[in-house]
Structure 1
Amino acid sequence: MTDHSSGAAAEPDGTGPGGGELGVGELDRIAAELARVGGIVGVCLGGSRASGTHVPGSDYDLGLYYRPGELDTGALRALAADLCGRPVEVSEPGGWGPWVDGGAWLDIGPVRIDWLYRDVRRVRRYAAEARHGRYESGQQPGHPYGVPSYAYLGELALARVLADPTGELAALRAEVACFPAELTRALESDAAWEAPFALANARKGAKRGDAGYVAGCLFRAVGLLVHALHARAGRWVVNEKGAIASAGRLPCAPPEFERRAQELFRFAGTDPVSLAAVLDAADALTAEVLAGAVRG
């Protein structure tokens, strides 16, 4: 799942404290026990473990899809304590903030397992909105671009279902298997006006040598392009980490997109002339991405 961590409880970057691995069948056993907890609809494996891009010691990110108002957190605490051999802090729904929701971090010997709550009713609502080209975005620590509501759809689409007793999770996953055409149009439309707008504002900061403001505008503009490119390719993007590289591998990306986008952030100093040159390069890259949308 995606790390949407919030303020007081910032999640680590994806490697457990001891670099351990679960034994054969252990992950499925844990998922089955979780699925028996009241209120849980199903359990998914997300993140690098689901995509096959993990390294030894990567966390096991488990999405716990639950019905609001029904989640038995007492049973989750008991299960967590049983697995870890000691009490574990397990949050209530919403305890980690409005976008990450809540969960727990378990260290089972050298193995780190993250439980991440996902309100199944909320995911279903976001899926319906996405089909009509609507989405919302919220700020969360650790996510400088923000968390778009469709990230939760991408999580489910890219995850591996471990436990789904009633089939409800599989049905919801089928709804988000394909990237909605209306959402593609919305993201491309948003990029078409906001990316140039952000870069135009950056020009004002560049004249004053305000490199920090320029960097912030650049990050926003590039993020818009990255999300638009993924949408154009019908691909979900759920996290800022590695998103530029992922966009650069898409067939619809301009030549050398990754290199050119990353180089925008390598400027040093506050010289207005140098900052203006960086923005010239950003304008050119933006124009190429947006021209692809017109052709499409």
Structure 2
Amino acid sequence: MNDLIEAMAAGLLGVRGVRAVALGGSRARGAHRPDSDWDLGVYYRGSLDVAGLASLAAGLTGSPVEVAGPGGWGPWVNGGAWLSVDGGQVDWILRDLDRVERVWADCGAGRYEVGVQAGHPLGFWSPAYAGEVALCRVLADPSGELADLRARTATYPDPLRKALVEAAWEADFSVAAAAKSVGAGVEPGDALHASLCLSRAFGVLTQSLHAHHRRWLLNEKGALAAAASLPSAPPDFASRVTALLRTLNADAVAAAADLVRETRASLV
């Protein structure tokens, strides 16, 4: 499969607009299972030949493949395709290299965005673009521009670290909002609003914990376990968060407030 992926990356470079291809996800980090997908970041500039991508995909799979062009999967995930090749699942994920570089410049200045994006229930945090580059394995990059950016993203920017650690204030705010939505005692009250508020609070804390340790956090999947493994995480962070989200009553919200305060104190 590795040879096929290398050949696929070379083929993608033949599509107008594509500038570089990178392996991402668990396979790039060496944390994959035998059945893990192959995530290919397809970095392009300017006008992208989506029809050319579809033609290449059809040639690889032997059947038509729907390719979502820029914006087809939302404002941040952008677009791509899901392919089944030789029994393996390969995901093409489009990335506008100009936009990635703008986000990286923002990271260096301590600026970030959180955008609404399908598949990201806590929102898409823009520094993930830089994190994807930092953690990827470059497969095809004839001009060297992605490799150059990868070298720069190897150093986590101090202004971004400061901004994301300070973002932990929102966890307090969200827990306070949840307190208004739970019923007295064990009654659930407004379960949807309360659960969203607590999830948001803990999601923000995972971002702040990662930033504190200068670690890139790419999405919500696995974020809780990864945050719990960091040195400054409170004891039993993951199990406590899990228990509180399952309980969802006034006592749980009070305990969540304690956990938020404990976590924020560890970030000082």
The CA distance in 2 between the partners of 1:213 and 1:73, in whole Å, is 40
Read off the aligned partner of 2:263 and give its amino acid letter: V
Report the counterpart of residue 64 of structure 2 in structure 1: 87
Greater mean alpha carbon deviation, residues 202-211 or residues 132-141: 202-211
Query: RMSD over aligned Cα, in angstroms?
Result: 1.4
2:177 to 197, 201, 212: 201
The CA distance in 2 between the partners of 1:282 and 1:222, in whole Å, is 9
* TM-fit CA distance, 1:212: 2.2
Report the counterpart of residue 257 of structure 2 in structure 1: 283
| Contact preservation (8 Å) 1:73, 1:90 | yes
The CA distance in 2 between the partners of 1:200 and 1:132, in whole Å, is 30
Does 2:33 match 1:59?
A: no
TM-score, normalised via structure 1 length = 0.86
Q: How does 1:261-272 map to 2 (within 5 A)?
A: 261-267=241-247
The CA distance in 2 between the partners of 1:106 and 1:184, in whole Å, is 36
The CA distance in 1 between the partners of 2:227 and 2:164, in whole Å, is 14
Q: How many residues align?
A: 264
| Contact preservation (8 Å) 1:45, 1:160 | yes
- Secondary structure of 2:245's aligned partner: coil
The CA distance in 1 between the partners of 2:100 and 2:126, in whole Å, is 8
Q: How does 1:102-181 map to 2 (within 5 A)?
A: 102-181=79-158
The CA distance in 1 between the partners of 2:203 and 2:46, in whole Å, is 32
The CA distance in 2 between the partners of 1:246 and 1:72, in whole Å, is 37
Read off the aligned partner of 1:212 and give its amino acid letter: L
* TM-fit CA distance, 1:37: 2.0
Greater mean alpha carbon deviation, residues 38-47 or residues 118-127: 38-47
The CA distance in 2 between the partners of 1:234 and 1:111, in whole Å, is 33
Report the counterpart of residue 245 of structure 1 in structure 2: 225
* TM-fit CA distance, 1:128: 0.3
| Contact preservation (8 Å) 1:127, 1:175 | no
TM-score, normalised via structure 2 length = 0.94
- Secondary structure of 1:62's aligned partner: strand
* TM-fit CA distance, 1:164: 0.8
The CA distance in 2 between the partners of 1:178 and 1:200, in whole Å, is 35
The CA distance in 2 between the partners of 1:95 and 1:256, in whole Å, is 40
- Secondary structure of 2:182's aligned partner: helix
* TM-fit CA distance, 1:277: 1.1
Report the counterpart of residue 28 of structure 1 in structure 2: 6
Read off the aligned partner of 2:14 and give its amino acid letter: R
| Contact preservation (8 Å) 2:53, 2:67 | yes
Report the counterpart of residue 6 of structure 1 in structure 2: none
The CA distance in 2 between the partners of 1:142 and 1:36, in whole Å, is 30
Read off the aligned partner of 1:171 and give its amino acid letter: D
Q: Identity percentage over the alignment?
A: 51
Unaligned runs of 5+ in 2: none
Does 2:216 match 1:236?
A: yes
- Secondary structure of 2:41's aligned partner: strand
- Secondary structure of 1:206's aligned partner: coil
**Deviations 1:230-262, CA, capped at 9 Å, x for gaps:** 000000111101101000001121122111111
The CA distance in 1 between the partners of 2:72 and 2:100, in whole Å, is 18
| Contact preservation (8 Å) 2:110, 2:162 | yes
- State the 4+ residue runs in structure 1 displaced beyond 6 angstroms: none
* TM-fit CA distance, 1:141: 2.0
Read off the aligned partner of 1:251 and give its amino acid letter: P
Report the counterpart of residue 218 of structure 1 in structure 2: 198
The CA distance in 1 between the partners of 2:166 and 2:235, in whole Å, is 22
The CA distance in 2 between the partners of 1:37 and 1:132, in whole Å, is 34
Read off the aligned partner of 1:34 and give its amino acid letter: L
- Secondary structure of 1:25's aligned partner: helix
* TM-fit CA distance, 1:134: 0.5
- Secondary structure of 1:95's aligned partner: coil
Report the counterpart of residue 78 of structure 1 in structure 2: 55
- Secondary structure of 2:20's aligned partner: strand
Greater mean alpha carbon deviation, residues 254-263 or residues 113-122: 254-263
The CA distance in 2 between the partners of 1:68 and 1:100, in whole Å, is 17
